[in-house]
Chains A and B, each alone.
Chain A
Amino acid sequence: MADLLDLNAVEAREALDKKAISAVELVTAYVGAAEATSALNNYVVLTADHALAMAADADKRIAGGTAGLLEGLPIGVKDLFCTKGVSSTACSNILKGFTPPYESTVTANLWAAGGVMLGKLNCDEFAMGSGNETSAFGPAINPWQGNDKTNLVPGGSSGGSASAVAARSALMATGTDTGGSIRQPAAFCGVVGLKPTYGRCSRWGIIAFASSLDQAGPFTRTVADNALMMTAMASHDAKDSTSTQTPLQDLMGAVGAGVKGMKIGVPREYVMDGMDNEVVRLWEQGQAWLKDAGAELVDVSLPHTKYALPTYYIIAPAEASSNLARYDGVRYGMRVEAETLDGMYEATRAAGFGDEVQRRIMIGTYVLSAGYYDAYYLKAQKVRRLIKQDFDTAFEKVDALLTPATPSAAFPVGRKIDDPVTNYLNDVFTVPANLAGLPGIAVPGGLTSDGLPLGLQVLGRPFDEASLYRVAGVIEAVAGFTQTPARMAGGTA
Chain B
Amino acid sequence: MGAAAKVEVPCTCPPPELERVPLVQNNRSIGWISNAVAGVAEGKTPKWWWPAFVVSFTMMCLCFAMIAYLMSTGVGVWGLGHPVMWGWAIVNFVWWIGIGHAGTLISAILFLLRQRWRTAVNRAAEAMTIFAVMCAGIFPVIHVGRVWLAWWLFPIPNANSIWPQFRSPLMWDVFAVSTYFTVSLLFWYMGLIPDLAVMRDRATTKLRKFAYGLFSLGWTGSNRHWSNYEKAYLILAGLSTPLVLSVHSIVSLDFSVSQLPGWHTTIFPPYFVAGAIFSGFGMVLTLLIPIRKICGLEDIITQRHVDLMCKVTLATGSIVGYAYGMEVFIAWYSGNPYERYAFWNRAFGPYWWAYWIMISCNVLLPQLFWFKKIRHNLVVVWVLSILVNVGMWFERFVIVITTLAREFLPANWGYYTPTWVDICTYLGTFGLFFTFFLLFMRFLPIIAIAEVKGVTPQADPHHPLGGAKLGGHH
A, B bound: no
Using a CB–CB distance below 8 Å, which chain B residues touch chain A? none
Using a CB–CB distance below 8 Å, which chain A residues touch chain B? none
